[in-house]
Amino acid sequence: MSDIVEIDSDGIEQVSMHLYTEKAYLDYSMYVILDRALPHIGDGLKPVQRRIIYAMSELGLKATAKFKKSARTVGDVIGKFHPHGDSAAYESMVLMAQNFSYRYPLVDGQGNWGSPDDPKSFAAMRYTESRLTAYAEVLLGELGQGTADWVPNFDGTLEEPSVLPAQVPNVLLNGTTGIAVGMATDIPPHNLREVVAAAIHLLESPRATLAELCEFVLAPDFPTDAEIITPREDIRALYATGRGGLRMRAVWEREGGDIIVRALPYQVSGSRLLEQIAQQMQARKLPMVADLRDESDHENPTRLVIVPRSNRVDCEALMSHLFATTDLEKTYRVNLNMIGTDGRPSVKSLDGILREWLAFRTATVRRRLEYRLERVLKRLHILEGYLIAYLNIDEVIHIIRTEDKPKLALIERFGLTDAQAESILELKLRNLAKLEEMKIRGEQDELATERDGLQLTLGSEARLKTLIRKELQAAAEQYGDARRSPLAARDEARAFSELELLSADPITVVLSEKGWIRAAKGHDVESGSLSYKSGDAFKLEARGRSNQPTVILDSTGRAYTLASHNLPSARGQGEPVTGRINPPSGATFEGLLLADEQQRVLLASDAGYGFVAVFSDLQTKNRAGKGVLSLPKGGCVLQPTLVPADNAGVWVAALSNEGRLLMFPLADLPQLARGKGNKILGIPSARVQAREEFLVTVQVINEMQSLVIQAGKRHLTLKFSELEHYRGERGRRGNKLPRGFQKVDGMRVEWSIK
């Protein structure tokens, strides 16, 4: 801060508030980044985790040791190394002990250390016991071998390692999350064997590309059996930039008629999941689910049972909906942000991480070998002194016993160095007398061989690489395991639409002359007897199911679509249909229809033209509708008629107001999406325009049905066999009905009674 401090005339230091505040904030930010939130690339640990692991090793809590109360361990950590609260230290220890949080746990715990369902429900530290796992040796195994930089602890009474000499790229293996000031880190866990294989490949081929490394590191590997469904291309892009996202999906199977979920995404709570599904069931958003059960036990850590309402339920579609709306499918943010060997935080690519870690590992191994070589050379030097002492043992003993300054005398008499003389004097006389030439020379030979080997390795890059490769392979062999999270290519999850969640209840939609619409439950509704507003009356009705859309045709030939399930109830008088659609001014409603998507419909105008359309072609989301039926001049829209899927044995019966009836095969009419259609009954256009002659109705009939023709109060029933006289080619004038039926009001189809 000296550069922003000014000294006034009185010798008082002054600094402006904004500069002081800015520097204080930046200092705090860097402190949080470097000492709290981000892991180091070398050992993959945050400072508090590193201090816990080191303190436990100092307490002798190795994998073979007896468990020790966690409270004592935490007390030791915060007393010697960690200048913060015990709860923060204990929470950090718990995380490293949870096999459902860490892919390769560093702490072995006894007692309640939380559960996958509730990771934070662990017991207090006075009730739990802990020690290090065998895997922790990859971080601690080389600690006393000159491999670590030692820094003073928080109060300067002890020294602690700044970075542990990790033998594997632990930063990728266990992953970590952290929130710093202005940055965060989210590193997913990976498989030890895969990461080591990639590191070895990079060691042997320094120019290896990211694509090559991705052949070894396929994807992150979480401590769960749930599937990673992110495409390989997206994972490679993630590894290239260091940023991205991952999707995980639960694994399920059919067992009898039930759906069994046996693996959940990383850190997803089973009870929370059941709660999410139950909420949907209570809100009637899952009518196809009858029951939920949690059958998890010690043998099956995850076993969630979803019971469908019947065996007709599409389980694939149901699970796709649950994947889209619950935590059965979860997205994870990936941000490979860490502190590099230069002490700076940065987001790194996969190849960048492995290159930097290999440089760190190479430097660590080199330091270890140099440290050992130095120790060997020192010992050889001392052994030379011992050999001189052995060969002149009587004289050496005499000098030690008689001389006031035996050290100087020994140096002067035998030409020893200070270290050699010191080591001889440190030996007790009885041990000095027991020196044996064979033992000394044997130890010299062993150490000389080791020295030569160390010097060869240190002098050759190839030998050093070979040593690092062998050590990596040994670690992978000892601590590695098979991948847990399988990679799977899955279709995108899709939630049910509102319609799909509806029950298919029978309804009758009623439309009045003034354009008021309503829906009654069931098909046995007498639409004409419903109550109507003054001056209004029944006009059209259509029967169908509540999950089918309602299509309305207006007098201009436009079609409009309404959701049937939310139409007003028939208990009231309904509501104006113009509140939901925007028809042209002066248009009236002439057609009403409910049907399935693929249902065929006969559309016709009373000018004698028509065609067959598919019901889905009539639907539109546009409030203004869409043009479907083109009307000849003077023509009006007729009520649509449902048509069978198969044309075989199906006939069209067209009846004019003058009693002309024509029958022809349905196959003679074209199937169109929109248009005028083809001629059904030959009516001169001038007569249509003058409204002298026009079609009354068009019906579809088969051999098992009869036609009932209505003229005033009179009815005429014609069986199919009696209709031969009226058969002809499409577009003809048709034949006249018997006298008394020259002015007809309508026609309907009935099933023949045999």
Helix or strand holding residue 235 (H, E): helix 232-241
Q: Where are the beta strands (DSSP E) in 587-676?
A: 589-594, 600-605, 609-614, 626-627, 641-643, 651-656, 660-665
Contact between 613 and 628 under an 8 Å Cβ cutoff? The reply is yes
Q: What is the pLDDT of residue 246?
A: 95
Q: In angstroms, what CA-CA distances link 715 with 179, 369, 710, 734, 736? A: 85, 112, 5, 20, 16
pLDDT tens, residue by residue, 161-197: 999 999 999 999 999 999 988 889 999 999 999 999 9
Q: What is the mean pLDDT of the chain?
A: 91
Longest dimension (CA), the chain: 159
R_g (Cα) of the chain, nearest Å: 44
Helix or strand holding residue 48 (H, E): helix 47-58
Q: What is the pLDDT of residue 59?
A: 95
For residue 57, give the nearest of 37, 77, 43 by alpha carbon: 77
- Comparing 713 with 615, which gets the higher pLDDT? 615
Looking at the DSSP bridge assignments, the partners of residue 695 are 656
Distance CA 222, CA 265 (A): 9
> How many CB atoms within 10 Å of residue 220?
25
pLDDT tens, residue by residue, 18-67: 888 988 898 888 888 888 889 999 999 999 999 999 999 999 999 999 99
For residue 546, give the nearest of 530, 562, 524 by alpha carbon: 562
By DSSP bridging, strand 678-679 and strand 609-614 are: antiparallel
> Tokens standing for 454?
């160390």
Helix or strand holding residue 542 (H, E): strand 538-545
For residue 104, give the nearest of 474, 356, 487, 481 by alpha carbon: 481
> Tokens standing for 316?
């694939």
CB-neighbour burial class of residue 202 (10 A; exposed 0-12, middle 13-18, buried 19+): buried
Strand, helix or coil at 338? strand
Q: What is the pTM of this model?
A: 0.76
Residue 1 has pLDDT above 60, yes or no: no
Of the listed ranges 67-81, 119-133, 349-363, 380-394, the least confidently predicted one is: 380-394
Q: What is the pLDDT of residue 5?
A: 67
pLDDT tens, residue by residue, 224-264: 999 999 999 999 999 999 999 999 999 999 998 899 999 99
CB within 8 Å of 543: residues ≥ 6 apart: 506, 507, 508, 509, 523, 594
Distance CA 450, CA 432 (A): 26
Helix or strand holding residue 107 (H, E): strand 107-110
Helix or strand holding residue 429 (H, E): helix 429-433
Q: What is the pLDDT of residue 3?
A: 64
Annotated active-site residue in 28, 104, 127, 239: 127
- Alpha-carbon dihedral sign for residues 7, 12, 13, 16: negative
Distance CA 421, CA 392 (A): 13
Strand, helix or coil at 127? coil
Distance CA 455, CA 117 (A): 54
First to last CA, the chain: 108
Strand, helix or coil at 453? helix
Distance CA 189, CA 41 (A): 14
Residue with tokens 């062999």: 477
Q: In the 8-state DSSP scheme, what is residue 593?
A: E
Choose from 346-360, 497-511, 672-686, 714-728 the range with maximum mean pLDDT: 346-360
Q: What is the pLDDT of residue 742?
A: 78
Distance CA 592, CA 573 (A): 18
Contact between 56 and 132 under an 8 Å Cβ cutoff? The reply is yes
Of the listed ranges 9-13, 467-471, 607-611, 714-718, the least confidently predicted one is: 9-13
CB within 8 Å of 722: residues ≥ 6 apart: none
Q: What dihedral do alpha carbons 341, 343, 349, 353 form, nearest 10°?
A: 20
pLDDT band at 587 (very low <50, low <70, confident <90, very high): very high
Average pLDDT on 667-696 reads: 91
Contact between 476 and 167 under an 8 Å Cβ cutoff? The reply is no
Looking at the DSSP bridge assignments, the partners of residue 7 are 13
Looking at the DSSP bridge assignments, the partners of residue 487 are 228
Contact between 348 and 242 under an 8 Å Cβ cutoff? The reply is yes
pLDDT tens, residue by residue, 562-586: 988 889 999 889 999 999 999 999 8
Residue 480 has pLDDT above 70, yes or no: yes
Residue 305, φ and ψ in degrees, nearest 5: -110, 125
For residue 336, give the nearest of 357, 353, 355, 356 by alpha carbon: 353
Alpha helices in 266-314 (DSSP H): 270-282
For residue 474, which amino acid is it? A
Strand, helix or coil at 625? coil
Alpha helices in 254-349 (DSSP H): 270-282, 315-325
Helix or strand holding residue 723 (H, E): none
Residue 4 has pLDDT above 70, yes or no: no
CB-neighbour burial class of residue 590 (10 A; exposed 0-12, middle 13-18, buried 19+): buried
Residue 389 has pLDDT above 70, yes or no: yes
Distance CA 43, CA 361 (A): 10
Contact between 222 and 188 under an 8 Å Cβ cutoff? The reply is yes
Residue 11 has pLDDT above 80, yes or no: no
Residue 2 has pLDDT above 60, yes or no: no
Q: How far is CA 214 from the centre of its chain?
A: 20
> Tokens standing for 574?
């309904």
Residue 435 has pLDDT above 90, yes or no: no
Residue 239, φ and ψ in degrees, nearest 5: -70, -25
Query: Has 386 been annotated as catalytic?
Result: no
> Tokens standing for 249?
């999906």
Distance CA 275, CA 91 (A): 27
For residue 348, give the nearest of 469, 229, 204, 213 by alpha carbon: 213
Contact between 209 and 62 under an 8 Å Cβ cutoff? The reply is no
Alpha helices in 252-314 (DSSP H): 270-282
